[in-house]
């Protein structure tokens, strides 16, 4: 699990390795688990980039990231039936980070870097 201290320090080599592992895990096709789709992760990523583009005016929207990803988890869980959904694991990782941003632009920037890394590794490891 990625510790919220990454929002203070930024990404280092150890964190980058963890993010690579997360990207790979989310892209894996595993029996009994619905993998995370590129559209799910890109929708979330698009929203965080929109906020970043004008952080001063959109900072209040950071609070809404958590319920938006929770909604995606609910939809995926419904679609997965008896299987688990990888987006639920993604939510468990990013939700504590979202709650730790505290409307701070630098912390948010580090959060965006975390998400960018996960998106990139998800794609590299065959996320569809």
pLDDT tens, position by position, 39-58: 888 889 999 999 999 999 99
Average pLDDT over residues 90-102: 93
Radius of gyration of the chain (CA): 14
15 has pLDDT over 80: yes
| Gap between the Cα atoms of 34 and 56, Å rounded | 37
- How much is the pTM? 0.91
Asked if residue 75 has pLDDT above 80, the reply is yes
Q: Contact, 83 vs 71, CB < 8 A?
A: no
pLDDT at 82 over 70: no
Structure tokens at 109: 């920037």
* 47-61, 71-85, 106-120: segment of lowest average pLDDT: 71-85
- Taking a C-beta distance cutoff of 8 angstroms, is the pair 126, 27 a contact? yes
Mean pLDDT of the chain: 90
What is the rounded CA–CA span in Å between residue 10 and residue 113?
8
């Amino acid at each position: 699990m990625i510790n919220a201290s990454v929002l203070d320090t930024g990404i280092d080599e150890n964190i980058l390795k963890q993010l690579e592992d997360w990207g790979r895990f989310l892209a894996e096709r595993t029996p009994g688990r619905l993998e995370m789709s590129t559209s799910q992760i890109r929708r979330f990523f698009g929203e965080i980039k929109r906020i970043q583009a004008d952080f001063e005016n959109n900072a209040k929207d950071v609070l809404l990231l958590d319920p938006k990803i929770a909604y995606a988890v609910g939809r995926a869980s419904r679609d997965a039936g008896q299987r688990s959904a990888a987006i639920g694991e993604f939510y468990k990782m990013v939700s504590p980070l979202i709650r730790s941003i505290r409307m701070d632009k630098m912390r948010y920037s580090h959060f965006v870097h975390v998400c960018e890394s996960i998106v990139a590794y998800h794609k590299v490891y065959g996320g569809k």
